[in-house]
Chains A and B, each alone.
Chain A
Amino acid sequence: MKIAIWGQELTAWVAAGTLAHAGNDVRIVNDSTVQDPILRMGTNILNEPGLKDLICDEFAKGRLQFTTSGGATQFDIHMLCMNPSEFDAAKQIVSKLGKFTQNKLLIINQSLFGVGCTDELQGLLKKENNQIAAFLTENIAEGEALNNMRHPKAITLGCDNPWANMMIESLLRPFTRQLDQMLIMSTREAEFAKMATTGMLALRIGYINELANLAEQLDVNIDVIRQSMGADPRIGHHYLSPGCGFGGNSFSQSIKGLADLLSEKRNSQLLDTVLRENEKQKEQCFRKLWRHYKADISGLQIAVWGASFKPGSSSLDGAPSLKVIEAIIAQGATVRIHDPEALDNIERLYGGHPQVITCKDKYEALANTDALLILTEWDEYWSPDYEALLEQMHQPVIVDGRNVLSRDLLESLGFTYYGIGR
């Protein structure tokens, strides 16, 4: 099939690569003068495991190419993989496509503009001519995007047109052999379901973080509590790890969209509260450091391990590290940062700042420091060389924002240890 893909989000590149690999003739719409796919992808997307190779490969084979927005009008299948803030642009695109042809047209919208937005796009098309806008839920997580796309567990599709359903099902056939469930519903329901899922995850994280903060005050270990909770089949273990807050652009934006709807239509502050508390939680590690040093950290050297908002990504979008770095330097301390992927992004923000030092080696980041803050649970932080830590650090104080280390072990080695909820 011939498919045109609109948008610059991670989803766009993942869909382009995998669909081309499955034999489709795929065009990424690109009106800019940058015609090198690698330059066009941007750092965060380039760092997605496996993606760069796949894209280069498909470009080399010619199954994947760029086209202009004018050229894209020749296609009858379009995917919108755009940022939630780009709804106006999406409307312009769809309106233009609908005006250009009287023939069949399939718009597969993967962008979460809000509940009812795909219906609005449909309104710009001639439904009677089988010009259809459908909503296909994207279920990819940064760091595992290709795998998520190739082996989905369930697919939610918002579409009530038999021809469009047939087309989308065929398009997804290469990836749906092990599919547990293909759910088909109205576009509004599919959009709502996507938001509802994200909101539920946020609530779980918000809830376990609240419990962790309470556990600290009651001198209870949250690890034990969450194991017990997770053992209950009604609850399960997913998204029950307390930590120093969640980040990520699409996750946060989608929650914000639902939070705004709840607030506007229902006067409900439920998700607003979760988001607000999450912002506070991002500074939790700083506050532990602050209290350890009796509300004065000026002149200290603080090591930070992990800057990206989650492991496997170089993205700093909404990352707790940003708030922690700001807080530390505002108090007159120096921060020494290690991250396996995100140091370039840190350099872009703080390059040349006298209080922000980036370190390619995680032990180098510890040199002469008064505390280590762990903010992202990269694999390499789970079992560090403790001797090296003790040797490098000026004060053996560890604030573990992701609960990756063992409190008992660290204390037996002479560290002062602070976790989240334990």
Chain B
Amino acid sequence: MSVTKTSAWKALEEHAATMRHVHLKELFQQDPNRFQTYSMRNEQLLLDFSKQRITPETQSLLKTLADTCQLDTWKSRLLSGDAINTSENRPALHTALRQPQGSELLLDGHNIVDDVQANLAHMNDIVNRIHSGQWRGYSGLPIDTIVNIGVGGSDLGPYMSCRALSDAQLASGKKLNVHFVSSMDGSQIADLLDTLLPTSTLFILSSKSFTTIDTLSNANTAREWLRNASGASDDILNRRHFIGVSANASKMTEWGIPENSQLNFWDWTGGRYSMWSAIGLPIALRIGMSRFKEMLAGAHAMDEHFRTAPFETNLPTQLGMIGVWNINFLDIHAHAILPYDGRLSHLPAYLEQLEMESDGKSVSRQGKEVDYRTCPIIWGEVGPNAQHAFYQLLHQGTESVMCDFIAPARRYHDTDNADLQQQHTLTLANCLAQSRILALGDSVLENNESAPVHMRYRGNQPSTTVLMDELTPFSFGQLISLYEHKTFVQSVIWDINPFDQWGVELGKKMATNLLKPLMKETDGADLDGSSKGLLDTIHALQEVNA
């Protein structure tokens, strides 16, 4: 039975019919203490939901919906390693990657925490060797530059995290340059290699399957570059200039990566949930292993909170359920991620993948087409920059948009740079100002009603503010884990499997099929008219240039 047929859903629809006409400014007039009622904290994160269009009744109805959908059962199935990724017949155990040493999670009678810890120890060894300048290239010079080659989950997570935690660098880590290459067209790697020294550059090849064409073609370009520069044998280059991170050890070996340069993760780790695994090696190289473990500890703290905290104060649950309320009952289908901290500039792109690849689906776990909305369009940008771009639409457009404002309360407090401290104050002022206007509109001004209509702000755009004490590896781990679990909560209500991604497969296959007609090995007569037209035009243009 579809969730829309349940009494819980219907009750929410009825409730929404009245709430749709209630403005946030009225809610604040009725209850000036909304912040006390709707803000909640866990460790270094505070979530303020008071600017969401909710009342105590909304929350109680959402709880009934969660109960109806057996959220608690699903939660424990997730955390205990049930094979809830049914289309691929495996569990989704990213939470095991951050379980502390000495704990236990049995999978087929085997404690996988031991495997995780063994892998962390191997990572630790690699990180120490590189940080101490004793991982040496073919010429004997120490490695001081890291290039991570990966795409999707093997790129976005480490890339985003290295930027986010740039202030947490260790003295020894500071010497390391860490670069990321993902695009398959070769332009990224070619430009980068021009600026690097082959003698001291190490490549991390990250690919869950180790068959991803984007990654392997970049890897081959890198090896060719080393061959030309060094004249060294492939054996030496493979041993000294490549580390492989994959769930497919035999493919790594086949490519030439020796066993002690291989880091493993497991098929129960989804690509977009993998930055906690060896895929996070670039993060550990940037910030050091102990800081990396602080990040894992932050995520684990959120896992425990998710597992144990009651519905009313459970951060990921509330974030997910209020999202469901906005999407399915208030008809809001766009979601903006707005970090007010430049270090989180890649977070929107990361969450785009996390949420849209997980919940961007329309078939239920029962194999039925769903009759309700699932994941909305998610996009974002560093807030102060976005203010000069798409905030116009948020304030005065026709779309309803829900927003997440994310900001650290403290920054630069341990420096004596007053100018930077002032800049942070200014950033926070902007963050608070924007969420305030979005919620309340121009009612925050006196005489607002006398303004011409094109200068009016109607408000009532709901938002959540995620306030971090400060941006540390720990709070950052909490933040990402928060969104992972939020995504899961919504998948439970929508009755979809968030851990597969069949929607990206056909494109890969079709691209392979199109190689032949592009290289004129076949004529492409079976293509549709548009594709055939583009193909012919490309061929014509290429001939002109040749």
Which residues on A are within 8 Å of B, measured CB to CB? 280, 283, 286-291, 294-296, 326-327, 330-331
A326-B139 contact, Cβ under 8 Å, with A294-B233, A296-B239:
no
Partner of B134, one of A291, A294, A330: A330
Which residues of A have CB within 8 Å of B51?
none
Partner of A331, one of B134, B233, B235: B134
> Quick check: B139 and A291 within 8 Å, CB to CB?
yes
Cβ of B188 within 8 Å of any chain A Cβ, yes or no, is no
Most buried by A among B129, B134, B140, B141: B140
For the complex with contacts A287-B139, A291-B140, A295-B138, 16 further pairs of A-B residues with Cβ separation under 8 Å are A280-B141, A283-B141, A288-B140, A289-B140, A290-B136, A290-B139, A291-B138, A294-B233, A294-B235, A295-B136, A295-B140, A295-B232, A296-B239, A330-B132, A330-B134, A331-B134
> Quick check: A330 and B141 within 8 Å, CB to CB?
no
Q: Which DSSP category, helix, strand, loop or mixed, fits chain B's interface?
A: loop
**How far, in Å, is A184 (CB) from chain B's closest CB?**
44
In the complex, 20 of the A-B residue pairs with CB atoms within 8 angstroms, ordered by the A residue number, are A280-B141, A283-B140, A287-B140, A287-B141, A288-B140, A290-B139, A290-B140, A291-B139, A294-B233, A294-B235, A294-B236, A295-B138, A295-B140, A295-B236, A295-B240, A296-B239, A327-B134, A327-B136, A330-B132, A330-B134
> Quick check: B239 and A295 within 8 Å, CB to CB?
yes
Interface size grouping (class) on chain B: 10 to 19
Q: How far is the CA of A326 from the CA of B132 in the complex (A)?
A: 10
**How far, in Å, is A409 (CB) from chain B's closest CB?**
27
**How far, in Å, is A418 (CB) from chain B's closest CB?**
12
Which residues on B are within 8 Å of A, measured CB to CB? 129, 132, 134, 136, 138-141, 232-233, 235-236, 239-240
Q: How far is the CA of A296 from the CA of B140 in the complex (A)?
A: 10
Closest to B137 in A: A295
How many A-B pairs fall under 8 Å by CB? 34
Closest to A329 in B: B134
Which residues of A have CB within 8 Å of B140?
283, 286-291, 295
> Quick check: A330 and B129 within 8 Å, CB to CB?
yes
Which residues of A have CB within 8 Å of B141?
280, 283, 287
Which residues of B have CB within 8 Å of A283?
140-141
Q: How far is the CA of A330 from the CA of B131 in the complex (A)?
A: 12
**How far, in Å, is B380 (CB) from chain A's closest CB?**
40
Q: How far is the CA of A286 from the CA of B132 in the complex (A)?
A: 16
Closest to B237 in A: A295
Closest to A285 in B: B140
Q: How far is the CA of A152 from the CA of B35 in the complex (A)?
A: 81
Q: How far is the CA of A287 from the CA of B199 in the complex (A)?
A: 12
Q: How far is the CA of A415 from the CA of B318 in the complex (A)?
A: 75
**How far, in Å, is A330 (CB) from chain B's closest CB?**
4
**How far, in Å, is A88 (CB) from chain B's closest CB?**
22
Which residues of A have CB within 8 Å of B136?
290, 295, 327, 331
Q: How far is the CA of A291 from the CA of B240 in the complex (A)?
A: 12
Q: How far is the CA of A19 from the CA of B59 in the complex (A)?
A: 91
Q: How far is the CA of A291 from the CA of B231 in the complex (A)?
A: 12
Q: How far is the CA of A296 from the CA of B132 in the complex (A)?
A: 18
Which residues of A have CB within 8 Å of B129?
330
Closest to A289 in B: B140
